Amino acid sequence: MSPFQALYGYPSPPVIAYSPGSTAVHVVDTALIDRDQLLNTLKSNIQMAQNRMKVYADKHRTERHFNVGDYVYLRLQSYRQHSVIFRQNHKLSPRFYDPYKIAARVGQVAYRLELPTNNKIHPVFHVSLLKLKLGTTSTASTQLSPMSSSGAQTWKPEAIL
């Protein structure tokens, strides 16, 4: 659907290319030729601008592929996902959470992770939110907080003093 059709509710009228000499009036002939030249110039300028934007966008992209069964760290934004991460100070929250196993590849740039069943978060993530776990040793674990069925966080004490 074109922006014109979204705005007005019907498709835009087609712009038919003008063949020179098909009208008897010279002024109309030159106006239609100028219109065609302007349309061609606009199309080429739009194409050049799109190519330029693509070049700059591709400079910041990296091709990342993971295999099913690999372990990846998950990047979550604590200031957006309040149901998963509870912190007083969001600046100090960890950037990446637990290594999770990749269950399946969904499309070209998305992966389904094996998350704990009590977390209320969708298991499919874009490749930009994942980071491959390297090595066998693990550093300090940053697990997602456990959730009850009502959506409240549940805490278990380690020991009663």
* DSSP per-residue string spanning 23-36: SS-HHHHHHHHHHH
Question: Alpha-carbon distance 68 to 31, whole Å?
Answer: 61
pLDDT(87) > 60? yes
Q: What is the pLDDT of residue 149?
A: 67
Dihedral pair phi/psi, residue 113, rounded to 5°: -105, 155
- Work out the average pLDDT over 84-99: 73
Q: What is the pLDDT of residue 50?
A: 97
Q: Which of 14-28, 77-91, 144-158 has the lowest mean pLDDT?
A: 77-91
Q: What is the pLDDT of residue 122?
A: 87
Q: What is the pLDDT of residue 161?
A: 81
pLDDT(113) > 90? yes
Q: What is the pLDDT of residue 16?
A: 79
Highest mean pLDDT among 20-29, 87-96, 141-150: 20-29
pLDDT(142) > 60? no
Contact predicate 81/122, CB 8 Å: no
Distant-in-sequence, close-in-space partners of 63: CB < 8 Å, separation ≥ 6 = none
Contact predicate 98/133, CB 8 Å: no
On whether the pTM is more than 0.75, the answer is no
Question: Alpha-carbon distance 110 to 8, whole Å?
Answer: 36
pLDDT(62) > 80? yes
